[in-house]
């Protein structure tokens, strides 16, 4: 008799589970056709509410998307077609992976929304997103994240407040407090908004973009700013900055309307009224190219109407400048400081000589080449070849006056 009771109770228990399963199928045929439950330790239904909980090592399969879903528990809102996945949630398919501790999946919209930390990965491309919250739409293949977003791949890491990733177009848009790290070039960039189109290998930064290339040896950085900054290449090899461009490296500051930083050849091309300023020098020309070696300035090539101006009087008594002109002028650096200046093709020079802070003479001339050498940033020798020059002593420089407010000669 006791055995019969035990058998009956066991049968009723199994029957109860079967009835519950039948109830589940009869009330959620659409949901069951979409969400196939492959495994769970147990589930509990709430009578009259079309709601039930699936508990323990839960495994679903969405055949239409070839998606496997794993979690610890699920709360199913049968009538609404909502699956609330909790604890150790993983949504996996051959192309992408979604991780969180809380995801609400809407069958009608095919949206997976998480108000908790969300991670999205593409193993084949090494792309990875992380944010405080976000939504992935499996119908449109669009990821939208918000709050402390991070994107990373093998080339660079991108930070921002909000991300939108249109997967079919390989387009990433970023908004708010943007910062990115260019791994190959050890560069950090900043902006307000950004858009990266991976299929076109093109990106653009707007809203006060700023690029900093670290020089760990000298302790300073190459800083590039402008109104718009574009970059090209899977592993970035070229930055193009336009409008109000400013470039800072050590004591050198450059200004122009368009600057191109080509990392593949370590050169910066300045176009559109370029101008270089240093503590005692100003460089002008139609085109200026900056050469970088070992993250330090090595050469500056100035072409077409090239001019180098420098303070002539270290005492500050006279308002005069040394002047060097030529078709092409090359400025050579050592440890980011000017060491030598060479002008060629119709080179012209005006140079003032001082001794003990007193003006002694002025040298002018036209040569095929002029070479100026410097020590500690000051001119110590001017040498011209294949040409002629004139040295005028101070006594005959009647046009040279002391600065205003001082006794005039």
Domains parsed from the chain with CATH numbers: 8-111 (2.60.450), 274-409 (2.60.450.10)
pLDDT of residue 295: 79
CA end-to-end distance (rounded Å), the chain: 133
Residue 132 DSSP SS3: coil
pLDDT of residue 255: 96
pLDDT of residue 257: 96
Q: How far apart are CA 115 and CA 176, in angstroms?
A: 19
pLDDT in tens, 153-200: 877 788 999 999 999 988 899 988 899 888 778 889 899 888 887 777
pLDDT of residue 236: 66
Cα dihedral 385/390/395/400 (nearest 10): -80
pLDDT in tens, 347-391: 999 988 888 778 888 999 999 999 999 887 778 888 888 888 899
pLDDT of residue 408: 45
pTM metric for this prediction: 0.74
Q: Are 270 and 289 in contact (CB under 8 A)?
A: yes
pLDDT of residue 153: 83
DSSP tag of 318: B
Q: Which long-range contacts (CB under 8 A, 24 or more apart) does 323-327 make?
A: 323/348, 323/349, 323/350, 324/348, 324/349, 324/350, 324/370, 324/372, 325/349, 326/370, 327/303
If you write DSSP's letter for every residue of 35-97 in order, what string do you get? SEEEE-SEEEEETTTTEEEEEEEEEEEEGGGTEEEEEEEEEEETTTTEEEEEEEEEEE-SS-E
pLDDT of residue 294: 81
pLDDT of residue 26: 33
pLDDT of residue 124: 86
pLDDT of residue 32: 55
Residues of the chain scoring pLDDT < 50: 1-29, 406-409
Q: From the CA atom positions of the chain, what is the Rg in Å?
A: 35
pLDDT of residue 403: 64
């Amino acid at each position: 008799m006791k055995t019969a009771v035990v058998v009956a109770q066991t049968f009723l228990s199994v029957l109860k589970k079967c009835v519950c399963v039948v109830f589940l199928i009869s009330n959620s045929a659409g949901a069951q056709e979409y969400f196939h439950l492959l495994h769970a330790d147990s589930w509990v239904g709430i009578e009259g509410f079309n709601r039930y909980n699936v508990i323990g090592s839960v495994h679903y399969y969405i055949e239409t998307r070839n998606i496997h879903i794993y979690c610890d528990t699920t709360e199913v809102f049968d009538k609404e077609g909502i699956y609330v996945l909790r604890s150790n949630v993983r949504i996996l398919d051959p192309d992408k992976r979604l991780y969180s501790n809380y995801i609400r999946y809407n069958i009608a919209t095919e949206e997976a929304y998480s108000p908790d930390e969300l991670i999205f990965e593409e193993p084949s491309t090494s792309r990875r997103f992380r944010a405080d919250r976000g939504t992935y739409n499996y119908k449109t293949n669009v990821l939208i994240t918000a709050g402390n977003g991070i994107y990373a791949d093998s080339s660079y890491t991108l930070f921002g407040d909000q991300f939108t990733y249109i997967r079919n177009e390989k387009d990433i848009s970023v908004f708010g407090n943007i910062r990115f790290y260019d791994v190959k070039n050890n560069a950090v960039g900043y902006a307000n908004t950004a858009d990266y189109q991976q299929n076109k290998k093109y990106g653009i930064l707007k809203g006060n973009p700023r690029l900093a290339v670290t020089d760990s040896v000298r302790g300073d950085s190459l800083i590039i700013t402008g109104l718009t900054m574009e970059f090209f290449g899977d592993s970035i090899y070229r930055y193009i900055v336009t409008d109000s461009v400013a470039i800072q490296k050590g004591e050198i500051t450059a200004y122009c309307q368009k600057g191109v930083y080509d990392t593949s050849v370590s050169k910066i091309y300045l176009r559109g009224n370029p101008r270089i300023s240093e503590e005692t020098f100003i460089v002008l020309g139609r085109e200026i190219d900056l050469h970088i070696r070992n993250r330090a300035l090595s050469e500056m090539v100035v072409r077409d109407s090239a001019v180098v101006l420098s303070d002539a009087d270290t005492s500050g008594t006279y308002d005069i400048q040394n002047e060097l002109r030529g078709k092409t002028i090359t400025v050579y650096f050592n440890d980011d400081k000017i060491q030598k200046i060479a002008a060629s093709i119709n080179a012209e020079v005006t140079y003032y000589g001082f001794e003990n802070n007193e003006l002694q003479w002025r040298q002018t001339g036209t040569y095929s080449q002029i070479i100026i050498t410097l020590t500690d940033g000051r001119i110590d020798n001017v040498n011209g070849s294949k040409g002629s020059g004139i040295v005028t002593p101070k006594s005959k420089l009647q046009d040279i006056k002391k600065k205003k407010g001082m006794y005039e000669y």
